[in-house]
Amino acid sequence: MSSPAHLLLVNPSAGAGRAMKRLPKIEEAMRAHELTYRVVMTNSIAHGCEQALKGADAGEIPVVVSGDGLIGKVGGVLAETRTPLGVIPGGRGNDLARVVGIPTEPAEAVAVLAAGERRRIDVGEANGRHFLCIASCGFDSDANRIANEARAVKGPLVYAYAALKALAQWSPARFTISLDGAEHELRGYSVVVANSKAYGGGMYVAPAAELDDGILDVVTTADVSKRRFLQNLPKVFKGEHVELPEVEAHRAAEVRVSADRPFAVYADGDHLTDLPMTVRVLPGALELIAPAAGP
């Protein structure tokens, strides 16, 4: 019985063209591992999701060659199906790949695909829309928007640039947060509802989050001076910010968030929905081709 074919969904604009530049090495590695494949260039997220579902119906394994945005959306449409998702990182942040141990180097990523090891991961759902990593709002809303608009800034540096620019314009917001029905009030910067650990190109904002534990991690940052916020921003890359008194971490199966002014909610690097939002988790809803989780 022959192995299933792989459908390489390549986002030509991901990572300022990084996915396209990596395609020759990816194809070389696919041939070296004797993996059957075909390539589709996506022209939008909707097109990528449509092609993924068509490929799945034809018995192909969708493999997203892009950043977290397209990966998250394709993973979302494959949730609760029997079709696995393959990932070859090609974006600026590549946070899902980072957390699950898929290398950024094309040949090494294809080797993971060839090994075929699979693991079940949870999928988040905010206002009925699926995401894989982290849904956040507040300061993060402004920073995400700025990062997505900053096409001239290359690589992960875009997230530092976006944070600095967002901070200059920021004023505190008041959030109402419900954790499994228990209501909390927060005046501060952001509310992060995490299915995974990292976002923003390696910021471990929810270091205790696990992709397969069936629960959401909620991390909030209360109001402090902009100077203190900026000084402590590097701690996020190691997950050390959760030790600060202004940062609180909670866990819940259902989270509701509203605010005293409008905020977009970003997840997997893209606009997902708007406040108010209700978030829940779909345990083990997606099969991912990736190294097995540690003990």
Q: 185 is written with which tokens?
A: 């009030």
Contacts of 82 (CB under 8 A, 6+ apart): 287
Q: 36 is written with which tokens?
A: 């059957």
Contacts of 25 (CB under 8 A, 6+ apart): 106, 107
Closest of 192, 193, 163, 188 to residue 173, by C-alpha: 188
Q: How far apart are CA 65 and CA 100, in angstroms?
A: 16
- Please identify every residue annotated as catalytic: 270
Element (H, E) at 95: helix 95-100
Q: How far apart are CA 95 and CA 118, in angstroms?
A: 18
Contacts of 220 (CB under 8 A, 6+ apart): 175, 177, 186, 188, 190, 191, 192, 247, 248, 250
Q: How far apart are CA 128 and CA 47, in angstroms?
A: 20
Closest of 292, 293, 291, 288 to residue 81, by C-alpha: 288
